[in-house]
């Protein structure tokens, strides 16, 4: 699908979490290149400064999604919300403490739900798009990452439920499922040259956001050319 041209007379606004590295960072940069105003949210202040310097259209916001006021992060006008922040504990069920379960669900799922809730009035006005960056673990769990996979299955359900609820309002909801991607989160023992580039996943996110008005891309799976095992 060809990315649709944006109205050059209107500055569109996106809120992107997890913007200091990996997929979130690439989404922020690619949207800015298309002329979008981007609110880039993350915790690494040095990385946020670099984003500010990379484009005048990027405004960084240092925030902890587990502790700070998420409503305060949402601007009055929002055309896209991208929840790319997440954590991936590599633990088995028997080794995962209650507080670790709470933390992974709080960041991977609840923070995305809260941001969507606060952004919905603006997204309804703009007939905008919500993108949840999920994972291959959101459709299939592996023995070493049950807590992460459980949170991503929940994120998938959140996206599907939100899409059904907001159909009448015109808000689009997309889930992007990246396979093994060369980000700091991925620690698998593989040849990293075979991993998906974060910029490639970001292009899928941007495609969902800028898709033509008559469609929504509900589920996008981004896989490496050769499936990897580790």
* Alpha-carbon distance values, 20 to 38, 51, 148 (Å): 13, 8, 21
Check residue 13 and report its DSSP letter.
E
Return d(Cα 189, Cα 206) in angstroms, integer: 29
Which of 136, 40, 34, 140 shows the shortest CA–CA distance to 85?
40
Active site residues: 148
* Residue 126 CB-density burial (10 A; 0-12 exposed, 13-18 middle, 19+ buried): middle
Which of 192, 200, 195 shows the shortest CA–CA distance to 176?
200
């Amino acid at each position: 699908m060809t990315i649709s041209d944006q109205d050059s007379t209107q500055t569109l606004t996106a809120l992107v979490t997890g913007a200091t590295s990996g997929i979130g960072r690439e989404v922020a940069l690619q949207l800015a290149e298309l002329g979008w105003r981007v609110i880039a949210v993350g915790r690494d202040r040095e990385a946020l400064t670099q984003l500010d310097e990379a484009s005048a259209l990027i405004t960084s916001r240092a925030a902890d999604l587990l502790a700070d006021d998420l409503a305060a992060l949402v601007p009055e006008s929002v055309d896209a919300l991208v929840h790319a922040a997440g954590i991936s504990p590599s633990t088995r069920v028997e080794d995962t403490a209650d507080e670790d379960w709470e933390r992974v669900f709080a960041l991977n799922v609840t923070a995305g739900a809260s941001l969507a809730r606060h952004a919905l009035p603006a997204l309804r006005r703009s007939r905008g798009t919500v993108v949840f960056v999920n994972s291959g673990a959101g459709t299939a769990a592996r023995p070493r990452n049950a807590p992460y996979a459980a949170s991503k299955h929940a994120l998938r359900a959140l996206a599907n439920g939100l899409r059904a609820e907001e159909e009448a309002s015109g808000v689009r909801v997309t889930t992007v499922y990246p396979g093994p991607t060369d980000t700091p989160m991925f620690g698998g023992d593989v040849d990293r040259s075979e991993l998906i580039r974060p910029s490639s996943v970001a292009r899928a996110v941007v495609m969902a956001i800028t898709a033509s008005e008559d469609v929504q891309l509900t589920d996008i799976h981004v896989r490496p050319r050769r499936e990897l095992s580790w």
